[in-house]
Structure 1
Amino acid sequence: MDCQYFRLCYSIEIMEYAPADVSKGYWTKKGICWARNSEVQDINDTAMGFRILRLHGHQVSPDSQVLFQEKILEDAKNFSAKYLKKKRAANELLDKWIITNDLPGKQTLYSCGLCSGCHGMLAYPDYGGENDVWIGKTLYRMPYMTNDVYLELAKLDYNNCQAMHYDEWKEEIQRW
């Protein structure tokens, strides 16, 4: 499998098909769906499919991204932030509609990141392991999508990436 889009290209062999071929087969002008028989395109799968197809040299129109304009994304961000702040203030973060593991702890740990936009720089220590609660994994019985092997590889990759960024940053500082 060409797993460049996972950035986990060192020592894993998982599947026998190229993701670009699969993505190309189900791509529409509106994007791609989470399941082959679905008519509902979502931003996550469309963005990933767009990136994979472009990465492998396919001509893909950026018009598919029009469905997910900045205004929609900003509205979704504002809605979810408001919803979580309201639930946190009422101490109701263990709501049945919030599917996550230890949301109160994550809210406390990452609250500065949610406000300042630096949350992308933080490592999420428990994200993606076999205990991660994920709607697709839970409802559609997909246990191999998030497991401890992927989690460990992701942590190693994250640390490697951070080390590379640090080295690049040191080089840039020396140039100044």
Structure 2
Amino acid sequence: MKNVSGSANNLTGIDSTLFQPNNRIGRNKSISKYSVQSEIIQFSLQVRTDSQHNIEIQNALTYFSQLDQDLKSSLIYNNHPISELSSEQATELVGENGYFGVDQTSQRIIDFVIKGAGGDIERLKSGREGILEGFKEAEKAWGGKLPEISYETLAKSLESIDEKIRENGGSVVDLSI
């Protein structure tokens, strides 16, 4: 038996050289490919969560007067439960110039994806998929169809992400919402 520090035949049967930095990066392409895929999946999950949160708050504010107090208390905006808002404030937030209106909500989603992707086409596509998944999760959480403002926000977000994918030399096969 050779010495444990660098041998393939150590006491555990694990080749310790696999854990050396020069073997993980560059030489073992399957590990680095796995890392890239893992990062892309993580990015997609972050986009999904962010998109779902924005759409759910947008939906709650649209139906503000119809929500029960417990649900209003569980949803947070600006570090406060939305139950502390008046109906007028809620309406203003989803209005044309409101923080949860189509333009500002879609811009937050777009910025999150584009900045997070850094021009990488696969990350942009993954971010796009994350938006769609987040939207589906929001529909599921709210029991089906969301208000029209949410669909407008989705369409505007996807349009910008699709354009960025094309600008970077990629193509989007599924253009449906």
Q: Please indicate the TM-score interval, normalised by the length of the shorter structure.
A: under 0.3
| Higher RCO (CA-CA < 8 Å; seq separation 6+) | 2
TM-score, with length taken from structure 1: 0.23
TM-score, with length taken from structure 2: 0.23
Structure with the largest fraction of helix: 2
